[in-house]
């Protein structure tokens, strides 16, 4: 349960970017959350509801894009999406586990809608 | 000039989160970890030639016991210090101090993991320049510590035979990001019905290629290979 701290960072990043653009109000914050980021989108939304008061994002929507985990198979030289809930990156073509995770750890603010 | 070929990377927004038509969009593209990662990078620079380990595990799997024995066995020729994170008490720092290493306890209150800034403040109380190895014992938790870079060189994930062979499958991220996995309490493996092959298979699937050290911090069995690994990585860092 560290989503509250993450949400404070998220609002800080959003306000900084919005101010730089001369905006007054943040209408939406778009974030990308990877499957293996350890962040629970629902908990993030809950924390956002509590943290946004008094900020430029006081009435903003939080839009979460959930990114599936993607690994790279060196044998097949191709990327594949992890299809199991255990986070095992087993190549569907050659059945070899991969240590090369290309996507899934993200927790990014991607863009904002401002006014 | 011809228009560039249109591409759409489906990974960027697989489920699509629509922007309100007509809205003014500001690109940010920054990690929520931006602040922590900045402090972690500063820590890494401040650590210089000192090898820094971040030890993570669930509560009670023997992080402190491993450190007590490691400190005792390395102290002959290396200068080791420990930073310990716990929600409450300085019991662990007291144990490690008794084993012969300077130690700083970080009491996190209710925080479930260590952050780079907590480590930065804690190491202010140590003579970093006079150290060979700094071990950071994270809060016992297999979820949250995975996300916070502390500036360490090696992340070591510890698992004990009493916890069940499928821990790596249940908490994949913290095993996936490990530079080494330690399986502790092998002295009681038989008594608790620990299935070694299943555990090794789980680690190999989640974190292929990661070295695994099977040991008992209590009896000392298997400690030599682990300590040799630490010495080897210290030598490698110092080139």
| pLDDT single digits (tens) B16-44 | 567 888 889 999 999 999 999 999 999 99
pLDDT, tens digit (0-9, with 9 covering 90-100), for B178-199: 999 999 999 999 999 999 999 9
Tell me, yes or no, whether B22 lies in a domain.
no
Chain A residue whose CA is closest to B141: A1
Instruction: Quote the pLDDT of residue B131.
Output: 96
Res A35: pLDDT: 87
Count of the separate structural domains present in chain A: 1
pLDDT at B100: 87
pLDDT in tens, A91-101: 999 999 998 99
* Whole-number CA gyration radius for chain B: 21
Q: Is B8 on the interface with A (CB under 8 A)?
A: no
Mutant choice from B13, B17, B87 vs A, greatest count of A C-beta within 10 A: B17
Taking residues B130-159, what's their average pLDDT? 94
What pLDDT was estimated at residue B20?
A: 83
Task: Give A22's contacts (C-beta < 8 A, 6+ positions apart).
Answer: none
The CATH code of the domain that includes A43 is: 3.30.2320.50
DSSP string, chain B: -PPPPP---TTT-SS--PPPTTPEEEEEEEETTHHHHHHHHHHHHHHTTSEEEEEE--TTSSHHHHHHHHHHHHTTT--EEEEEEESS-SHHHHHHHHTT--EEEEE-TT-SS--HHHHHHHHTTS-GGG-SEEEEE--S-SSGGGG---S-SEEEEEEETTS-TTHHHHSHHHHHT-SEEEEE-GGGTTTTT--HHHHHHHHHHHSTT--EEE--TTT-TTHHHHHHHHHHHHHHHH-
CB contact under 8 A, A66 and B15: yes
Interchain contact B113–A (C-beta under 8 A): yes
Span B47-80, pLDDT tens digits: 999 999 999 999 999 999 999 999 999 989 999 9
Q: Is A108 exposed, middle or buried (0-12, 13-18, 19+ CB in 10 A)?
A: buried
Read off the pTM: 0.88
Q: What is the domain-level CATH number for residue B78?
A: 3.40.50.300
Whether A89 maps to a domain, the answer reads no
pLDDT of amino acid A83 = 78
Chain A residue numbers with beta carbons less than 8 Å from the beta carbon of B32 are: 6, 9-10, 13, 31, 39, 107-109
Q: Does B210 touch chain A (CB under 8 A)?
A: yes
pLDDT tens by residue, chain A, 115 residues: 578 889 999 999 999 999 999 999 999 999 999 988 888 888 888 999 999 999 999 999 999 998 889 999 999 999 999 876 667 888 999 999 998 999 999 999 999 999 9
B88 lies in some domain: yes
Q: Which pLDDT score is estimated for A86?
A: 65
Residue A15 lies in a domain: yes
Q: Is B20 part of a structural domain of the chain? A: no
B165 lies in which domain range? Answer: 49-238
Mean pLDDT of chain B: 91
Give the nearest partner residue to A88 out of B11, B26, B172, using CB atoms: B172
Is A63 contained in some domain? yes
Question: Is B231 part of any domain?
Answer: yes
Average pLDDT for residues B211-225, to the nearest whole number?
98
What is the total count of domains within chain B? 1
Residue B32 domain-assigned? no
Segments forming the whole domain that contains residue A8: 3-69+104-114
CB contact (8 A) between residue A108 and residue B176: no
B68-104 as b/e, with b when 16 or more CB fall inside 10 Å? bbbbbbbeeebebbbbbbbeeeeebbebbbebebbbb
Of B11, B20, B33, the CB nearest to A107: B33
């Amino acid at each position: 349960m560290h989503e509250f701290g993450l949400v404070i960072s998220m609002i800080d990043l959003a306000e900084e970017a919005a101010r730089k653009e001369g905006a007054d109000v943040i209408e939406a914050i778009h974030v990308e959350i990877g499957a293996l980021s350890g962040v629970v989108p629902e908990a993030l939304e809950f924390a956002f509801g509590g943290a946004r008061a008094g900020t430029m994002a006081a009435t903003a929507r939080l839009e979460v894009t959930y990114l599936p985990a993607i690994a790279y198979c060196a044998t097949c030289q191709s990327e594949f999406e992890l299809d199991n809930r255990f986070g095992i990156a087993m190549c569907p073509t050659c059945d070899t586990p991969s240590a090369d995770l290309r996507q899934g750890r993200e927790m990014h603010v991607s863009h904002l809608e401002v006014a | 000039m011809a228009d560039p070929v249109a591409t759409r990377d489906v990974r960027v927004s697989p489920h699509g989160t629509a922007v309100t038509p007509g809205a003014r969009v500001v690109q940010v593209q920054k990690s929520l970890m931006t602040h922590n990662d900045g402090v972690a990078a500063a820590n890494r620079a401040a650590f210089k030639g000192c090898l820094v380990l971040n030890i993570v595990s669930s509560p009670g799997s023997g992080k402190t016991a491993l450190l007590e024995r490691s400190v005792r066995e390395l102290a002959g020729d290396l200068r080791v210090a420990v930073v310990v994170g716990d929600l409450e008490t300085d019991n662990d720092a007291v144990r490690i101090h008794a084993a012969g290493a300077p130690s700083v306890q970080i009491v996190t209150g209710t925080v479930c993991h260590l952050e780079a800034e907590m480590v930065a403040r804690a190491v202010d109380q140590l003579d970093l320049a006079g150290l060979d190895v700094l071990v950071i014992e994270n809060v016992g938790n297999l979820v949250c510590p995975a996300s916070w870079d502390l500036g360490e060189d090696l992340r070591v994930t510890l698992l004990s035979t009493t916890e069940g062979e499928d821990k790596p499958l249940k908490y994949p991220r913290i095993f996936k990001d490990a530079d080494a996995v330690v399986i502790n309490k092998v002295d009681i493996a038989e008594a608790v019905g620990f299935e070694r092959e299943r555990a090794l298979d789980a680690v190999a699937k989640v974190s292929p290629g990661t070295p695994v050290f099977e040991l008992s911090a209590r009896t000392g069995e298997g400690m030599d290979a682990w300590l040799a690994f630490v010495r080897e990585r210290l030598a490698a860092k110092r080139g």
